[in-house]
């Protein structure tokens, strides 16, 4: 389908969609986004930021905005299989992008803390929510505009000043509609006020062979002295498409740990943009991407060191098998006033087959002179010497390779400080690579 035809498809769908939301306070922004969307082209490989990723397979499909599609309420057993075993959490569940009160279990919260769906909050708390929605400085593209146009639901997490969320928050997004090719558009908002703390697991999963398009926009505010650990897991079906844009602003002395764990989807693109808008900020980015068959997994990160005395550490690792392709583009910008910046970036990939490939583009743009910055990217095979040494000790071939895979991913996985979640991710790694867990 041509660029113009697919845009017309979504524009026509908006007329029906608007009847569901015309009374809420966000609708003027939807209409504004639609007008911009109709004038904006989808990116092509001629665009520098999309040079290594073609979205033409996505544009061939007429995805139906999930509120207009037939909603399938999954069985309890399917929900159970997606949960994190033995972990007590505040659970927020979405099915095909729509909040499920039936399967959510938010539990008791301290006064002032909000863990809820965007749909509910726009109805009951719109003045407060609209202070934060669409407030980040960002370059809009067709996907972010599409998200705003059809924004219907998503999660809202608000931690007031001096509050600590007493257990992890698990947001489970399940694509479960085999019939109508749903367009799932989570619009997410996280606000961590001064001196607050929270751990958040945002997980996108799908039933086998569900052909959906998940297009996410997440805005995160981390205020002074706040500490947030955010785990984003993408493990949708191998027939799905996944686009994710996350915008973060950090203030003085805040600490933010972000994990991007990408396993599923036919095409996955993750854009992470953060502004260190204060002093003495810490930012830690960890990424792990696994691809097999003909998967295409693309990570773009941008870190804006806007103020002095801040530190960012970025470590992304990938394992690619069969004909899978990975992309990593990471840019660190150090502004002129951002003296005493420490910024480190590393991307390392292992190719398990001769047909797997990776395009890596690490970048530093530095305008300050009193900084410590480094970046680099490496691509290779599993360590053959280590492999033969392990084999010489009587370890079977597959077990030896599994040991090397575990060693390669360990410096990312070991940073996950929730034991039950870490065990689940370890299991997912070997399941996805069709290898014996060791």
Distance CA 301, CA 285 (A): 9
Q: Considering the chain, what is the average pLDDT of its residues? A: 92
Which of 273, 300, 226 minimizes the C-alpha distance to 43?
Answer: 300
Answer whether residue 74 shows pLDDT above 50: no
Distance CA 162, CA 165 (A): 10
Which of 436, 408, 168 minimizes the C-alpha distance to 288?
Answer: 408
- Residue 88 has a pLDDT of 97
Distance of CA 384 to the CA centre of its chain: 33
The structural domains of the chain, with segments of one domain joined by +, span: 3-277, 382-438
Answer whether residue 375 shows pLDDT above 90: yes
Summarize the confidence of residues 236-259 as an average pLDDT: 97
Dihedral angle at the C-alpha atoms of 294, 3, 298, 211, nearest 10 degrees? -50
Answer whether residue 71 shows pLDDT above 60: no
DSSP class of residue 413 equals H
- Average the pLDDT over each of 33-37, 105-109, 135-139, 142-146 and give the range with the smallest value: 135-139
Q: Which two tokens stand for residue 322?
A: 């069969």
Contacts (Cβ under 8 Å, ≥6 apart) of 321: 291, 292, 351, 352, 353, 356, 433
Q: Give the number of other CB atoms < 10 A from CB of residue 105.
A: 13
- Average the pLDDT over each of 9-13, 138-142, 211-215 and give the range with the smallest value: 138-142
The runs of H, that is alpha helices, within 175-281 are none
Distance CA 407, CA 390 (A): 13
Distance CA 168, CA 181 (A): 32
Per-residue pLDDT of 383-415, as tens digits, reads 889 989 899 999 998 888 888 999 999 999 999
Point out which residues pair with 261 in neighbouring strands.
233, 288
Distance CA 271, CA 328 (A): 10
Q: Answer for the pair 207, 233: CB distance below 8 angstroms, yes or no.
A: no
Which of 164, 169, 180 minimizes the C-alpha distance to 61?
Answer: 180
Point out which residues pair with 329 in neighbouring strands.
300, 361
Point out which residues pair with 421 in neighbouring strands.
none
Residue 247 three-state SS? strand
Q: Answer for the pair 403, 395: CB distance below 8 angstroms, yes or no.
A: yes
- Average the pLDDT over each of 203-207, 219-223, 280-284 and give the range with the smallest value: 203-207
Distance CA 310, CA 276 (A): 7
Q: Answer for the pair 266, 241: CB distance below 8 angstroms, yes or no.
A: yes
Q: Answer for the pair 104, 2: CB distance below 8 angstroms, yes or no.
A: no
- Residue 208 has a pLDDT of 80
Distance CA 314, CA 284 (A): 6
Q: Answer for the pair 189, 223: CB distance below 8 angstroms, yes or no.
A: no
Q: Give the number of other CB atoms < 10 A from CB of residue 13.
A: 18
């Amino acid at each position: 389908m041509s660029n113009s035809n697919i845009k017309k498809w979504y524009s026509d769908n908006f007329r029906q969609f608007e009847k569901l939301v015309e009374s809420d306070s966000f609708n003027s922004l939807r209409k504004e986004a639609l007008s911009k969307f109709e004038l904006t082209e989808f990116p092509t490989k001629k665009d520098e930021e999309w040079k290594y990723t073609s979205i033409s397979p996505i544009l061939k499909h007429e995805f139906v905005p999930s509120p207009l599609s037939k909603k399938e309420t999954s069985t309890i057993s399917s929900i159970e299989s997606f949960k994190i075993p033995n972990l007590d959490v505040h659970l927020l569940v979405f099915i095909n992008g729509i909040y499920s009160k039936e399967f959510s279990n938010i539990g008791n919260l301290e006064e002032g803390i909000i863990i809820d769906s965007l749909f509910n909050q726009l109805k009951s708390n719109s003045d407060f929510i609209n202070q934060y929605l669409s407030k980040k400085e960002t370059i809009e593209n067709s996907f972010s505009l599409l998200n705003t146009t059809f924004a219907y639901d998503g999660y809202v997490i608000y931690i007031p000043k001096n509050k600590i969320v007493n257990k992890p928050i698990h947001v489970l997004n399940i694509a479960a509609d085999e019939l109508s090719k749903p367009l799932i558009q989570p619009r997410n908002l996280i606000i961590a006020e001064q001196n607050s703390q929270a751990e958040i697991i945002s997980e996108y999963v799908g039933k086998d062979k569900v052909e959906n398009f998940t297009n996410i926009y997440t805005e995160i505010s981390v205020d002074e002295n706040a500490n947030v650990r955010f785990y984003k897991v993408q493990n949708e079906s191998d027939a799905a498409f996944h686009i994710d844009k996350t915008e973060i602003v950090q203030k003085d002395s805040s600490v933010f740990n972000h994990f991007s764990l990408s396993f599923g989807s036919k095409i996955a693109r993750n854009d992470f943009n953060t502004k260190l808008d204060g002093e003495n900020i810490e930012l830690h980015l960890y990424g792990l991407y696994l691809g097999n068959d003909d998967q295409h997994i693309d990570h773009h990160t941008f870190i804006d060191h806007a103020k002095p005395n801040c530190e960012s550490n970025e470590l992304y690792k990938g394992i690619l098998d069969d004909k899978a392709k990975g992309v990593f583009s990471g840019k660190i910008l150090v502004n002129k006033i951002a003296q005493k910046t420490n910024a480190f970036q590393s991307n390392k990939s292992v190719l398990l087959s001769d047909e797997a490939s990776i395009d890596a583009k690490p970048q530093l743009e530095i305008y300050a002179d009193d900084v410590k910055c480094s970046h680099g990217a490496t691509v290779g095979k599993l360590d053959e010497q280590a492999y033969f040494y392990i084999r010489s000790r009587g370890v079977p071939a597959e077990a030896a390779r599994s040991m090397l895979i575990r060693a390669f991913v360990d410096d990312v996985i070991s940073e996950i400080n929730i034991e039950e979640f870490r065990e689940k991710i370890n299991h997912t790694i070997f399941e996805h690579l069709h290898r014996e867990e060791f």
